Structure 1
């Protein structure tokens, strides 16, 4: 452990956690944006199935 290092906290760990948080946030955001599209009765069922695959 060098001078100025925090015990148990490395910059690489912080970057990994930030990347995981970003990916999870993007997935949740994409779900919330696309939810009305998949719940709409105006869109035929076949089209919703194709887009979900």
Structure 2
């Protein structure tokens, strides 16, 4: 998945917290669950977009 999101600082913190919570809930092996290798890169892209 690749996308540009326009987030306020508060929304970026909310997304970070949501992802960390999800990670903690799914970090241990579970019955009937397959392991997934997930990489997520998130950073302010101000300098990457045309002005």
TM-score by length of 1: 0.41
TM-score by length of 2: 0.42
More helix by share: 1
Larger relative contact order (CA 8 Å, sep ≥ 6): 1
Structure of higher CA gyration radius? 1
